[in-house]
Amino acid sequence: MLKKGLNILNQLSIWLSFQLSVVFIVGIPLTLFCWSIKNNSQAITKLLTNYWKISLLFFISLILLIGKYNYALLITNISTIMMTISVWFWEDINDELKEYGISHALITTTKVWRWSLTFISIIFLIQSLNNISCIFFINSAECAIWLKPSINLYLILKNLFNFLFGASFSQPVAKFLGLFALLLYILGLVQWAIIKLPKSGRSSGFSKNGRN
C-alpha cells in the first residue's frame, strides 16, 4: 500500500515537473520575447533570442522521448541546465539589467523568470536523479511514467506529419528525426564554441544595435 502511494506521488511529481517546464520553458519566455519586441528592449530580445537557440535541445529531447531513445531523459536534463546557463551567461546583458529598478515591469519580470527557471531546472534534475536508472535506460518498465508527458506531443506531431506528408509518424521515425536533429545541434554548438566564443566571450553584442 505504501509502495503504491509512493508510486502515485512520484507520478504526480513527474507530471507536475513537466507542466511547470512547459510554462517556464515555453510560455513565459515567449510572452517576454513578444513584450521585449513591443518595448524595443534590445537586451531582453537578445537574451531570449539566444535562449531560444539553446532551448532547441529541449524540444529535440521531447522527440527522442517519443522515440523512446534510452538517453532521452539525460538529454532533457542537459537541455534544462544549458538553458539556465544561457540566461545568466551574458555579461553585457547582466550589466544592463542591473541598471533598472523594480519599477521597470519587463526587466523585473525577466529577472523573476530567470530565477524561476533556475529553480525549475534544479527540481527537474533532482526528480530525474530520484529515478536515476531512467536517465540511461528509459525503456525499462519503471520509467514509463517519464514517457507519458510526451504522448500529447506525439499525437500532435502524428496528425501534423500525416497532414503535411501523408505518411505515418511512428516511434522509429521520431527517434531518427531526433537523433538527426541532435547531430545538427551538436555541430552548431561546437562551431559556436570554437569560432564565436573565443572572439566575443561572454558579450552578447546586443549593444551594437543600440541600448534600450
Residue-range domain boundaries for the chain = 2-209
CA distances to 35, 50, 74, 84, 156 from 78, in Å: 28, 16, 6, 10, 25
What φ, ψ does residue 39 adopt, rounded to 5°? -90, 0
pLDDT of residue 2: 42
Q: How far apart are CA 156 and CA 169, in angstroms?
A: 10
pLDDT of residue 6: 47
Specify which of 3-17, 56-70, 179-193 reaches the highest per-range mean pLDDT.
Answer: 179-193
> What stretches of 40-170 show up as alpha helix (H) in DSSP?
42-66, 72-88, 91-98, 105-129, 132-136, 144-147, 151-165
Specify which of 78-87, 137-146, 148-157 reaches the highest per-range mean pLDDT.
Answer: 78-87
Which three three-digit cell numbers place residue 53?
537557440
Indicate whether 16 pLDDT > 50.
Answer: yes
Burial environment of residue 63 by CB neighbours within 10 A (0 to 12, 13 to 18, 19 or more): buried
The mean pLDDT value of the chain amounts to: 85
Indicate whether 153 pLDDT > 50.
Answer: yes
Q: For residue range 33-84, what is the model confidence (pLDDT) as tens digits?
A: 999 999 999 999 999 999 999 999 999 998 999 889 999 999 999 999 999 9
